[in-house]
Structure 1
C-alpha cells in the first residue's frame, strides 16, 4: 500500500456513502420531474384547474425553464460556495415547490410552483454529477455517473406508481404532496454528505481535501489553476485556447438530447393514450421507459469507461432516433413494449454520457461550471420539447410528435459525433516524419 493513502488508487468502499446519498437525492429529483407527466392524463381528463392541452405543454415548459435557470446558475454558484450547500438547498427548494403545486388554486400558481421546482431540479443534477465524479473509484467515473443516473429513472418509475395508486383514490394533488416528502431527507444530506474534493482543492483547502480523500478511500484530485477573478472566470475557461470548439459541440448536442428526454417524459403517457391505450397501459410505458433507462445507464457507463463517453453517446443517440421514430408506427402491443424499453435504454444514457464526457474532461476547478452550463444550454431543448408536444396535440397533430423528437436525436448524433472525432484526433499520437528502423 502507498504511504499516501489519499493519492493511491482505491475501490471507493466508504465512498459508497457519498454516492448513495447523491443517488437518493437524484431519486427524489426524478420523482418530482416525472410526476407531472404521470398525472397529466388525469388532469386533462378532469380539466383540473381548467387546464387545456396547450396550457399543459406550457406548464411542462415552465418546469424545464426553471431547470434551465437552475442549471446555468448551479455550476457557478457551486464553484463559489460549495457543492454540498447547493445540493441541500436544491432538494429543499423542489420539495417545497411541490407543496405550492399541491395547494395551487389556479393554473398560474401551479405554474409558479413548477418553475420553482425546476430551479431546484436543474441545480441538483449537475452538482450531484460533479460530486460523484470526485468520489468515483479510479477508471470508473462514467460508470459511477451512470449508476447515479439510474436514480433519476427509478424516480420516474416511482412517479408512475404514485399516479396509479394514489391519484385514482385521492386526486392529483395527493401526488404532489408525496413529492414534498424529500424535505425529511434534507437534514440527513446536510449531516452526512461531505464537501466536494474538487471544490476544496480549487479553494486551496488541500489539507481538508486530503483528509476527506483518505477517509473515503478515493484519489485526491489534481490541483488545477487557482480560483481567481470574477464569478465568470470559470465560464471563460471553457473557451480558452481550443476548448471553445468542444464546448460549442457539447451544448447543441445537449439541447437535442434534453428536448428528446423531456419531450418524451412529459408526453409519452398522453401520446400512448391517444394511440388507444388505457391509462394503466399508458403508464406501463413510463415504467418500461425508465427501466430501460436504468439498464442503459449501467451498460453505457461500462462501455464509456472502455471506449470513451462521446463515442458511446453518439451511437446511443442514433439508436434512440430510430426507436423514437418507430413509436410513430402502429405495431403489436408486445413489440411496442419492446421498442419503448429499448428506446429508454439508449435515450436516457445517451444524454448522461454527454455529462460524463464533460465531467471527466474538465479540470477539477471548473467541473461544476462545465457540467452546469452544458446542462443549462440543454435546458433550452428541455423547455422546447414539452412546449412542442403541447402545440402538436393542440393542433390535433399528435402523431407527428415522435417524428419531431426523432429528428432531435439525429441532431444530437451529429454534434456529439463530431465531438467524439475531435477527441479521437486530440488523443491520437502524431505520426513521425522519420522512417522507422528495426532495432539492432
Structure 2
C-alpha cells in the first residue's frame, strides 16, 4: 500500500487517495510486466528454430503491439471521458490478460503478432485512464509525485519481466513467461471491480449527482461543484477542447514530445538486451541490463515527481530528456561492466520519468471534461513513435547497422528536448499576454 504521508491530507482524503493509487499501481504493474516481457524473452524467441522468428519479423511484431497500444490509447481516452474511468480500467485489464495467454500458446509468428496487437489495445488504454484517475484523486501539490509513484509500477513490472526471463527461460522457455501474464485476470480485475471508486469529478461532469453523493458520503469527501468539475468549459466534444482557443499549440507540442519520447522508451525497452549482446555481453548480462534500467526508472519517478511538484513537470522533463540523450548515446561505448551498469541505471533514471512528466503536465493543463482524452491522445499519438522505435531497431539489426542504435535513439531525446523548450516559450507568451490584459482560463504549465 502507498504510505499515507504521500497524500498529506485529512484521514478520509488520504484513505481514498491511497486506495486509488494502490489499485492503479497494481494494474500498471501488470501492464509493465506484459509490455517489457517481449524485450526480455526476445533473444530466446529469436533462438527458437521451431518458432521461426527473424530479427526483421521481431521488429514488426514489436511495432504491431505498439500500434495496438495506439488504438487503445486513442479510443480509451474518449471512452473514459464518456463512460467512466473504472469501467475502462476493467475492460483493458481483461483484454491484455487474455491476449497474453494467447501469446503463450501461439503456434507461429503471425498468430503471436495478432495476439500482441490485441494485448496492445488493452495496454494502451489502461495507462492514460489510470493517470487520469490518480490525477483527480491526488491532493493539491502532490499530483506529479503520485503520478510518478504510479509509474514506478510500470518499471517494477519491467523488473519482474526481466527477472522471470532470467529464472524461467533456460528451463521452461519463453512461452511460460507469457502464460504468467494471465494472472491479472484473477488478481487485479476482481479487486478493481470491488474496491475502485469512480472519479467524483467525472460523475459530477456527467450530471450523475446521486452517484457522486453516495461516493462522497462513503469516503467523507467534499463534492466538487459542477462548474469546477467542468472547468467552465461548454459541453462539447472533449477532443475538440484540445484545440480550443490557442490550446492547439500546446496540444501539438505535447504530441510531438510524446512521439519522440515513446520512440525512445519502446525502442530501448525492446532492443536493449539485443543491443547489449551485439556489444559483446552475454545473455545473462543483457537481461540484467533490462532489470537495471527499470530499477533506475523507479528511482527516477520518485525524484522527478518531487522536483516537478516544486518546479513544474515541463521544466523537469526538458532537463531529463537532455540527460537521457547523453546517457543513451554513451551506452554505445563498450565500457567495463561495472561502469556500464552505472550508465544503464542513470539512463533509466532519466529516460522513463521524462516521459512520465509529460503525462503529468497534460493532466495538469487540461480540464476534467477532456483530461482523459488529452492524456489518451498524447499517449496515442506518441504510440506512432512507439511503433516506429521497435520497427527501426529490427531494421538496424536486419541490415547489420545495430551499432548505430544508441545514437539514433539519443537523437529522439534531443528532439523531445527541443519541443519542450518550444512548449515553455508558448507558455511564456501566454503569460505575457495575460499581463497585458488578454484574459485566459488556461492553467499554467508550471507547478503541480
For the criterion TM > 0.5, the same-fold answer is yes
> In the TM superposition, what are the counterparts of 1:246-395 in structure 2 within 5 Å?
246-395=250-399
Q: Which residue of structure 1 aligns with residue 158 of structure 2?
A: 156
Counterpart-to-counterpart distance in 2, 1:180 and 1:239: 39
Counterpart-to-counterpart distance in 1, 2:223 and 2:261: 32
Contact 1:227 1:365 in 2 (8 A): no
Counterpart-to-counterpart distance in 2, 1:48 and 1:401: 28
Per-residue deviation, residues 103-160 of structure 1 (Å, max 9, x unmatched):
1111110000000000000000000000101111111001010000000000000000
Q: Which residue of structure 1 aligns with residue 33 of structure 2?
A: 31
Q: Which residue of structure 2 aligns with residue 187 of structure 1?
A: 190
Q: Which residue of structure 2 aligns with residue 58 of structure 1?
A: 60
What displacement does 1:77 show?
Answer: 0.7
Verify: 1:41 aligned to 2:46, yes or no: no
Counterpart-to-counterpart distance in 2, 1:367 and 1:308: 18
Moved more, 290-299 or 201-210: 201-210
Moved more, 180-189 or 30-39: 180-189
Counterpart-to-counterpart distance in 1, 2:25 and 2:51: 34
Moved more, 172-181 or 46-55: 46-55
What displacement does 1:334 show?
Answer: 1.3
Change (3 A) 1:125 1:217: farther
Q: Which residue of structure 1 aligns with residue 5 of structure 2?
A: none
| One of 414, 430, 436 as aligned partner of 2:435 | 430
Contact 1:132 1:145 in 2 (8 A): yes
Q: Which residue of structure 2 aligns with residue 223 of structure 1?
A: 229
Counterpart-to-counterpart distance in 2, 1:373 and 1:73: 9
Counterpart-to-counterpart distance in 2, 1:342 and 1:139: 27
Aligned alpha-carbon RMSD (Å): 1.8
Q: Which residue of structure 2 aligns with residue 436 of structure 1?
A: none
What displacement does 1:278 show?
Answer: 1.1
Contact 1:9 1:218 in 2 (8 A): no
Stretches of structure 1 that go unaligned for 5 or more consecutive residues are 1-7, 433-440
Contact 1:10 1:218 in 2 (8 A): no
Change (3 A) 1:48 1:23: farther
SS in 1 for 2:152: helix
What displacement does 1:212 show?
Answer: 3.0
What displacement does 1:57 show?
Answer: 0.5
Counterpart-to-counterpart distance in 2, 1:291 and 1:69: 29
Stretches of structure 2 that go unaligned for 5 or more consecutive residues are 1-7, 438-448
Per-residue deviation, residues 279-319 of structure 1 (Å, max 9, x unmatched):
11111111110011000001111111100111110110000
Per-residue deviation, residues 14-54 of structure 1 (Å, max 9, x unmatched):
12011100000000000000000000011112235100000
Q: Which residue of structure 2 aligns with residue 435 of structure 1?
A: none
What displacement does 1:202 show?
Answer: 1.3
Contact 1:135 1:218 in 2 (8 A): no
Change (3 A) 1:357 1:386: same
Counterpart-to-counterpart distance in 2, 1:213 and 1:9: 16
Verify: 1:168 aligned to 2:170, yes or no: yes
**TM-score, normalised with respect to structure 1:** 0.92
Q: Which residue of structure 1 aligns with residue 205 of structure 2?
A: 202
Q: Which residue of structure 2 aligns with residue 409 of structure 1?
A: 413
Change (3 A) 1:141 1:213: farther
Contact 2:51 2:108 in 1 (8 A): yes
Contact 2:202 2:229 in 1 (8 A): no
Contact 2:132 2:363 in 1 (8 A): yes
Contact 1:138 1:219 in 2 (8 A): no
What displacement does 1:210 show?
Answer: 4.7
Pairs aligned (count)? 422
Counterpart-to-counterpart distance in 2, 1:251 and 1:381: 10
What displacement does 1:10 show?
Answer: 4.4
| One of 91, 94, 106 as aligned partner of 1:92 | 94
Per-residue deviation, residues 207-261 of structure 1 (Å, max 9, x unmatched):
53354346446665522157745xxx11111000010010010001000000000
Counterpart-to-counterpart distance in 2, 1:154 and 1:87: 19
Counterpart-to-counterpart distance in 2, 1:14 and 1:382: 36
Q: Which residue of structure 1 aligns with residue 4 of structure 2?
A: none
Q: Which residue of structure 1 aligns with residue 243 of structure 2?
A: 239
**TM-score, normalised with respect to structure 2:** 0.91
Counterpart-to-counterpart distance in 1, 2:50 and 2:251: 42
Moved more, 345-354 or 10-19: 10-19
Moved more, 406-415 or 8-17: 8-17
Q: Which residue of structure 2 aligns with residue 5 of structure 1?
A: none
